[in-house]
Structure 1
Amino acid sequence: MSESWNELQLPSEWSEFMINEGKTAPTAIQAAAWATIQGEEDTIIQSHTGSGKTLAYLLPLMTRIAKQPDIKTPQAVIVVPTRELAMQIVNVIRDLQSVTGLAAIPLIGGVNIQRQIENLKKHPQIVVGTTSRIVELIELKKLKMHQVQAIVMDEVDQMLALKQQNELSKIIQSTLKERQLVAVSATINQAVRDYLNTWSSAVRFVYVPHEDKLPPTIAHGYVVCEQREKIDMLRKLLRSMKLNRAIIFTNEMDQIAGIVQKLTFHRLKVAAIYGDQEQVERAHIIQQFRSGKVPFLVTTDLGSRGLDIEQIEAVIQFDPALTTDQYVHRAGRTGRMGTAGRVMTFATSREVAELVRMGNRLEIELVEQAYYEGKWLSPEQAKQLKSGNRSQAKSRKKPVSKTQVSKKEGRHRDQKSKGAPRWLKEKGNQGRP
Structure 2
Amino acid sequence: MTKRFSELGLSEKTLCAVERLGYETPTPVQEQSIPAVLEGRDVIAAAKTGTGKTAAFSLPGLQRIGHAQRSQGPLMLVVTPTRELAAQIADVCGVISQETHHRVVTVVGGLSYDPQIKQIKAGVDVLIATPGRLIDLMDRNAVNLGNVEVLVLDEADRMLDMGFLPPMKKIIAATPASRQTLLFSATIDRNIMKNVGYLLKDPVFVEIAHRGETADTVDQYIIRTEHLHKPELLRAVLEEKGSFRVIVFARTRGRADTCCRRLKRAGYPAEAIHSDRSQAQRRRALENFAEGKTGILVATDVLARGIDVSEVDYVVNFDLPEQAEDYVHRIGRTGRAGHKGFAISFVTPETEGLLKDIQKLTGQQIPELTLENYDKKEAAREAAERAERGKARAEARREAQNDPELAQAAAEYRSEQQRKKQRAAARAEASAEAGKRPGKNKQRKQRNAAALAKVTGNASSVRSGRSSKGSHSTKAAKTAKTSRLERAEAQEFGRSARQHAAKPKSGANGASKKRSAKSVKAAREAAQARIAPARKGDFRPGRAHRAAVASRARNR
Q: Give the TM-score band, short-chain normalised.
A: 0.7 to 0.9
Question: Using the alignment, how far apart are the partners of 1:2 and 1:8 within structure 2?
Answer: 11
Q: Indicate the residue corresponding to 1:224 in structure 2.
A: 224
Distance 1:350 1:210, change over 3 A: closer
Partner deviation per Cα, 1:277-317 (whole Å, 9 max, x = no partner): 22222222222122221111111101211211111111110
Q: Indicate the residue corresponding to 1:402 in structure 2.
A: none
Q: Indicate the residue corresponding to 1:265 in structure 2.
A: 265
Question: Using the alignment, how far apart are the partners of 1:114 and 1:324 within structure 2?
Answer: 39
CA apart distance, 1:350: 4.5
Question: Using the alignment, how far apart are the partners of 1:374 and 1:178 within structure 2?
Answer: 61
**What is the SS of the residue equivalent to 1:298?**
strand
Q: Indicate the residue corresponding to 1:430 in structure 2.
A: none
Partner deviation per Cα, 1:401-433 (whole Å, 9 max, x = no partner): xxxxxxxxxxxxxxxxxxxxxxxxxxxxxxxxx
Q: Indicate the residue corresponding to 1:403 in structure 2.
A: none
CA apart distance, 1:113: 0.5
Letter in 1 for 2:302: L
Relative to structure 2, which stretch is displaced further, 270-279 or 13-22? Answer: 13-22
Distance 1:211 1:259, change over 3 A: closer
Contact 2:313–2:334 at 8 Å: present in 1 too?
yes
Q: Does 1:302 align with 2:270?
A: no
Q: Indicate the residue corresponding to 2:51 in structure 1.
A: 51
Question: Using the alignment, how far apart are the partners of 2:212 and 2:111 within structure 1?
Answer: 38
Q: Indicate the residue corresponding to 2:85 in structure 1.
A: 85
Contact 2:48–2:208 at 8 Å: present in 1 too?
no
**What is the SS of the residue equivalent to 1:220?**
strand
Q: Indicate the residue corresponding to 1:139 in structure 2.
A: 139
Question: Using the alignment, how far apart are the partners of 2:75 and 2:155 within structure 1?
Answer: 20
Q: Indicate the residue corresponding to 1:39 in structure 2.
A: 39
Distance 1:80 1:264, change over 3 A: same
Partner deviation per Cα, 1:222-274 (whole Å, 9 max, x = no partner): 11111111111111111221242111111122212221111111100111112
CA apart distance, 1:163: 1.7
Q: Indicate the residue corresponding to 2:166 in structure 1.
A: 166
Distance 1:209 1:139, change over 3 A: closer
**What is the SS of the residue equivalent to 2:367?**
strand
> Which structure is richer in relative contact order (CA contacts within 8 A, separation 6 or more)?
1
Letter in 2 for 1:69: H
Q: Does 1:130 align with 2:130?
A: yes
Distance 1:70 1:323, change over 3 A: closer
CA apart distance, 1:47: 0.8
Relative to structure 2, which stretch is displaced further, 284-293 or 260-269? Answer: 284-293
**What is the SS of the residue equivalent to 2:32?**
helix
Contact 1:247–1:314 at 8 Å: present in 2 too?
yes
Q: Indicate the residue corresponding to 2:278 in structure 1.
A: 278
Listed as ranges, the gaps of 5+ residues in structure 1 are 376-433
Distance 1:360 1:167, change over 3 A: closer
Question: Using the alignment, how far apart are the partners of 1:27 and 1:212 within structure 2?
Answer: 20
**What is the SS of the residue equivalent to 1:222?**
strand
CA apart distance, 1:39: 2.0
CA apart distance, 1:5: 0.5
RMSD, aligned CA: 2.2
TM normalised by structure 1 equals 0.81
Question: Using the alignment, how far apart are the partners of 1:228 and 1:209 within structure 2?
Answer: 37
For 1:356-367, list aligned pairs within 5 A: 358-364=358-364, 366-367=366-367
**What is the SS of the residue equivalent to 2:247?**
strand
Question: Using the alignment, how far apart are the partners of 2:335 and 2:342 within structure 1?
Answer: 7
For 1:182-331, list aligned pairs within 5 A: 182-208=182-208, 213-331=213-331
Question: Using the alignment, how far apart are the partners of 2:134 and 2:20 within structure 1?
Answer: 35
Question: Using the alignment, how far apart are the partners of 1:210 and 1:3 within structure 2?
Answer: 23
Question: Using the alignment, how far apart are the partners of 1:158 and 1:347 within structure 2?
Answer: 25
Question: Using the alignment, how far apart are the partners of 2:206 and 2:3 within structure 1?
Answer: 17
- Structure number, greater radius of gyration: 2
CA apart distance, 1:343: 0.6
Contact 2:248–2:297 at 8 Å: present in 1 too?
yes
Question: Using the alignment, how far apart are the partners of 2:185 and 2:159 within structure 1?
Answer: 11
Letter in 1 for 2:234: L
Letter in 1 for 2:248: I
Question: Using the alignment, how far apart are the partners of 2:137 and 2:351 within structure 1?
Answer: 45
Q: Does 1:29 align with 2:29?
A: yes
Distance 1:210 1:187, change over 3 A: closer
Contact 1:45–1:184 at 8 Å: present in 2 too?
yes
Question: Using the alignment, how far apart are the partners of 1:121 and 1:70 within structure 2?
Answer: 11
For 1:53-72, list aligned pairs within 5 A: 53-65=53-65, 68-69=66-67, 71-72=69-70
Q: Indicate the residue corresponding to 1:10 in structure 2.
A: 10
Question: Using the alignment, how far apart are the partners of 1:118 and 1:332 within structure 2?
Answer: 37
Distance 1:349 1:370, change over 3 A: farther
Letter in 2 for 1:165: L
CA apart distance, 1:141: 2.1
Letter in 2 for 1:115: P
Question: Using the alignment, how far apart are the partners of 2:304 and 2:157 within structure 1?
Answer: 13
TM normalised by structure 2 equals 0.64
Q: Indicate the residue corresponding to 2:118 in structure 1.
A: 118
Contact 2:68–2:74 at 8 Å: present in 1 too?
no
Contact 1:93–1:103 at 8 Å: present in 2 too?
no
Q: Indicate the residue corresponding to 2:334 in structure 1.
A: 334
Question: Using the alignment, how far apart are the partners of 1:237 and 1:224 within structure 2?
Answer: 13
CA apart distance, 1:210: 7.4
Letter in 1 for 2:161: A
Question: Using the alignment, how far apart are the partners of 1:211 and 1:301 within structure 2?
Answer: 18
Question: Using the alignment, how far apart are the partners of 1:97 and 1:158 within structure 2?
Answer: 27
Contact 1:224–1:347 at 8 Å: present in 2 too?
yes
Partner deviation per Cα, 1:189-238 (whole Å, 9 max, x = no partner): 13430122132353332212779811101100111111111111111111
Partner deviation per Cα, 1:91-135 (whole Å, 9 max, x = no partner): 111122222222211111111101101111232210111112112
Distance 1:177 1:17, change over 3 A: closer
Aligned residues: 373
Greater fraction of residues in helix: 2
Contact 1:240–1:374 at 8 Å: present in 2 too?
no
Listed as ranges, the gaps of 5+ residues in structure 2 are 376-556
Question: Using the alignment, how far apart are the partners of 1:104 and 1:258 within structure 2?
Answer: 38
Greater fraction of residues in strand: 1
Question: Using the alignment, how far apart are the partners of 2:144 and 2:362 within structure 1?
Answer: 43
Letter in 1 for 2:27: T
Question: Using the alignment, how far apart are the partners of 1:21 and 1:126 within structure 2?
Answer: 18
Question: Using the alignment, how far apart are the partners of 2:245 and 2:336 within structure 1?
Answer: 14
Letter in 1 for 2:237: L
**What is the SS of the residue equivalent to 1:366?**
coil
Question: Using the alignment, how far apart are the partners of 2:21 and 2:48 within structure 1?
Answer: 22
CA apart distance, 1:138: 2.1
Distance 1:286 1:280, change over 3 A: same
Q: Indicate the residue corresponding to 1:149 in structure 2.
A: 149
Task: Give the fraction of aligned pairs with identical amino acids, expressed as a percent.
Answer: 28
Question: Using the alignment, how far apart are the partners of 1:31 and 1:177 within structure 2?
Answer: 27
